[in-house]
Chains A and B, each alone.
Chain A
Amino acid sequence: MKADAPLALTVENVVKTFPSGDGRTYALKGATLDARLGEMLMIVGPSGCGKTTLLSVICGTLNCDEGKIHVFDHDLRAMSDAAITRFRCQNVGFIFQQFNLIPTLTALENASIPLILNGKKSSAAQRRSREVLATLGLEDKIHSYPAQLSGGQQQRVAISRALVHEPRLIICDEPTASLDAATGHKTMELLKASAMQADRAVIVVTHDSRIFSFADRIAEMEDGRVTGIHNDPKNYHHA
């Protein structure tokens, strides 16, 4: 990653509260963060510190109460829900902790979903998905259902699904949490190899210190705030 690469996203003083009994609980208390194109940024921190909330706010699946969020020069707070949904459909790829592959669809069909959501015909979507699945070593598993795949293979299908429509932002929520150490490491290698491009940013929320070395930078969160940015992940040791 180049230090002078254009910004993919900026988050400034974002506040997010949730109703709790008679009052409100603060999940984000003025979080500030940015990520550059070509960068893999990891967000780390203890449970309940607001990592996932920040991730949800960045990708527009959750509205914040205060602050500024710009993703690829789009002010998400100024956009309507429909516009954010359209923006997410075209620009964001998701990798979830539990994979969230639809169990009644094959690997190929699961991977095709973002393209179909973007208006591609099913045949064209499957052609493209087949290519992406092949680059991730799943060419012989395209007709398998998720239940017939190992955890690592399922996560590779999820990565294919996240990349298939060539989004500019990849959002990963604990991508290795459901995998053993070796599979997690291999998955991160594949993710880094396949997802990292000069015009794309990858944001990873994780607890897994074994994968910190894959990051270009690490943002440390605590109590709803970003408390530190670390530019040398190889030597970062989580408190």
Chain B
Amino acid sequence: MLGIALKMLLRDRAKYAMLVSGLAFCSLLMCQQASVFCGLMMWTTATVRNIGAPVWVVDEKVEQANEVIPMREIEVERVRGVPGVAWAVPLYLGIEQARLADGSFQNVQLAGLDTGTLTGRPMDMREGRIEDLRLPNAVVIDQVAVEKFRRKGIPVGIGTTFEINDKEARVVGICHVSRSFLGQPYIYTTYGRAMEYAKPSRKQLSYVLVGPVAGVSASDLAARISKLHGLRAISKDELFWMTVFWYVKNTGIPISFGTVVILGVIVGIAIAGQTFYLFVYDNLRYLAALKAMGARMPTLAGMVMLQALSVGFVGYGIGVGLAAWFGNTVLAKEQPPFFMPWQVPAFVAVVILLICAFSATIGLIRIAKLEPAVVFR
């Protein structure tokens, strides 16, 4: 009877198309919005992922990765004294103003790497060598800088110069790193030069990047360092999730995206539920005839469930496929953010499954109440 059930569904083309398009739209809405939300959250953690140190030491008041409370440079030495620390290097991170050749200004995220080790260097160099950062006035810019400079008509390449806080910066390399939440380009230089570019202040150290000795986990080491007065040490993974949860808790982003996802669920239930109920309702006399002819309730339930699940499966496939196509298209431009971890399609699959089960259950309640004798009326 399952084959009969599928024929009944597929040959009722108008309702089938309505059901599939409703569920596809619902899947697309949920998948696309959830993926853009995940993409945004990835942007918020760009610094953590771009620098990539196992343990980050910050001021004890810091709540997330993009919040910089400057520390004294002596903190690097204090951290190096903690047992289990293999290495500890300073990192400067701050928003500075770059003045371009045409006189226009551009805010940039300046990252000052430890001069000796260049710890936190970008992993994907598209042009030039990171070691050239040790040359005078040298900086490495990322793809966002190239894009923003070019948009202003300024040709960019190795040798291009611009100013950061009135001091010359010369491009020695172009890298590709994760885009930051605020969309400012990353400009890499050495820690010492970053101190020259940055506006002078009493405390300038943003982070101490730390690596554990073999046999000590990042979280254990972070716990040991956090015992130092005024400091907080966080493992890379903890800092990643701390930052994500900070944005979830302190911004309207999840409410905004969550609302759209909930709307998707409501649209799915409204369209799919109602259309499926209509489909069952229109077939009630035939289902009653089947009951009279000896179809048992489990057989009819199997038929209805199969019909609901098959439209769910096709609608889900189309919706997630469209979301993936959208993602693939926007990823080339890197805007809007898009990141679809496996949990997103899995979550959407569960929601679609629930919508289908709900729709089928409404129909089944009607069928269960149906007296086979109604076929004679």
Residues of A in contact with B (beta carbons under 8 Å apart):
52, 55-56, 59, 61-62, 82, 85-86, 88-90, 92, 94, 96-98, 100, 102-105, 109, 113-114, 116-118, 122, 173, 205
**Are B373 and A114 in contact, with the CB atoms below 8 A?**
no
Interface mask (B1-38 → A, CB under 8 Å = 1, otherwise 0): 10110011001100000000000000000000000000
Candidates B286, B371, B377; contact of A102 at CB < 8 Å: B286
State how many angstroms separate the Cβ of A96 from the closest Cβ of chain B. Answer: 6
Kindly state whether residue B333 has any CB partner on chain A within 8 Å: no
Kindly state whether residue B239 has any CB partner on chain A within 8 Å: no
Once A102-B8, A117-B299 are accepted as A-B contacts, the answer to whether A56 and B294 lie under 8 Å apart by CB is no
| Residue among B291, B371, B376 with the highest chain A CB neighbour number at 10 A | B376
Considering the complex, give the chain A residue whose CB is closest to the CB of B290. A113
A-B contact pairs, 21 of them (CB 8 A): A55-B376, A61-B371, A61-B376, A62-B373, A85-B296, A86-B296, A88-B292, A89-B293, A90-B294, A92-B293, A94-B292, A100-B285, A100-B289, A100-B375, A104-B8, A104-B11, A104-B12, A105-B7, A117-B293, A117-B295, A118-B294
Once A100-B375, A114-B294 are accepted as A-B contacts, the answer to whether A94 and B7 lie under 8 Å apart by CB is no
State how many angstroms separate the Cβ of B280 from the closest Cβ of chain A. Answer: 13
Candidates B289, B291, B296; contact of A96 at CB < 8 Å: B289
State how many angstroms separate the Cβ of A127 from the closest Cβ of chain B. Answer: 15
In whole angstroms, how far apart are the Cα atoms of A85 and B290 in the complex? 11
**Are A56 and B376 in contact, with the CB atoms below 8 A?**
yes
**Are B377 and A117 in contact, with the CB atoms below 8 A?**
no
B299: chain A residues at CB < 8 Å are 117
**Are A59 and B292 in contact, with the CB atoms below 8 A?**
yes
Interface residues of B in 275-304 (CB under 8 A from A): 283, 285-286, 288-296, 299
In whole angstroms, how far apart are the Cα atoms of A89 and B289 in the complex? 12
Kindly state whether residue B112 has any CB partner on chain A within 8 Å: no
In whole angstroms, how far apart are the Cα atoms of A92 and B292 in the complex? 9
Kindly state whether residue B372 has any CB partner on chain A within 8 Å: yes
B3: chain A residues at CB < 8 Å are 122
Candidates A61, A105, A116, A122; contact of B373 at CB < 8 Å: A61
Considering the complex, give the chain A residue whose CB is closest to the CB of B298. A82
In whole angstroms, how far apart are the Cα atoms of A62 and B3 in the complex? 29
| Residue among B3, B8, B294 with the highest chain A CB neighbour number at 10 A | B294
**Are B7 and A104 in contact, with the CB atoms below 8 A?**
yes
**Are A117 and B376 in contact, with the CB atoms below 8 A?**
no
Number of inter-chain CB pairs below 8 Å: 79
In whole angstroms, how far apart are the Cα atoms of A205 and B377 in the complex? 12
**Are A116 and B4 in contact, with the CB atoms below 8 A?**
yes
Considering the complex, give the chain B residue whose CB is closest to the CB of A104. B11
* Given A61-B371, A85-B295, 5 new contacts (CB under 8 A): A96-B289, A100-B285, A104-B11, A113-B293, A117-B290
Residues of B in contact with A (beta carbons under 8 Å apart):
1, 3-4, 7-8, 11-12, 283, 285-286, 288-296, 299, 371-373, 375-377
A89: chain B residues at CB < 8 Å are 293-295
**Are A82 and B296 in contact, with the CB atoms below 8 A?**
yes
In whole angstroms, how far apart are the Cα atoms of A16 and B27 in the complex? 51
B1: chain A residues at CB < 8 Å are 116-117
Considering the complex, give the chain B residue whose CB is closest to the CB of A174. B376
State how many angstroms separate the Cβ of B297 from the closest Cβ of chain A. Answer: 9
Candidates A90, A114, A173; contact of B376 at CB < 8 Å: A173
B4: chain A residues at CB < 8 Å are 102, 105, 109, 113, 116
State how many angstroms separate the Cβ of A20 from the closest Cβ of chain B. Answer: 16
| Residue among A59, A62, A104, A114 with the highest chain B CB neighbour number at 10 A | A104
State how many angstroms separate the Cβ of A161 from the closest Cβ of chain B. Answer: 8
Once A90-B294, A113-B293, A117-B295 are accepted as A-B contacts, the answer to whether A98 and B371 lie under 8 Å apart by CB is no
Candidates B285, B292, B377; contact of A52 at CB < 8 Å: B377
Considering the complex, give the chain B residue whose CB is closest to the CB of A62. B373
**Are B11 and A96 in contact, with the CB atoms below 8 A?**
no
Considering the complex, give the chain B residue whose CB is closest to the CB of A145. B11
State how many angstroms separate the Cβ of A206 from the closest Cβ of chain B. Answer: 13
A82: chain B residues at CB < 8 Å are 296
State how many angstroms separate the Cβ of A62 from the closest Cβ of chain B. Answer: 4
In whole angstroms, how far apart are the Cα atoms of A113 and B283 in the complex? 15
A113: chain B residues at CB < 8 Å are 4, 290, 293
A116: chain B residues at CB < 8 Å are 1, 4
In whole angstroms, how far apart are the Cα atoms of A109 and B3 in the complex? 10
Please list the 7 inter-chain residue pairs (A to B) with the smallest Cβ-Cβ separation, ordered nearest first: A89-B294, A104-B11, A100-B289, A56-B373, A61-B372, A61-B373, A62-B373
A105: chain B residues at CB < 8 Å are 4, 7-8, 11
**Are B289 and A94 in contact, with the CB atoms below 8 A?**
yes
A102: chain B residues at CB < 8 Å are 4, 8, 283, 286, 289
In whole angstroms, how far apart are the Cα atoms of A34 and B183 in the complex? 88
B375: chain A residues at CB < 8 Å are 61, 94, 96, 100, 173
In whole angstroms, how far apart are the Cα atoms of A106 and B285 in the complex? 17
In whole angstroms, how far apart are the Cα atoms of A100 and B283 in the complex? 10
In whole angstroms, how far apart are the Cα atoms of A82 and B377 in the complex? 23
Considering the complex, give the chain B residue whose CB is closest to the CB of A89. B294
In whole angstroms, how far apart are the Cα atoms of A116 and B2 in the complex? 10
In whole angstroms, how far apart are the Cα atoms of A116 and B289 in the complex? 14
Considering the complex, give the chain A residue whose CB is closest to the CB of B9. A104
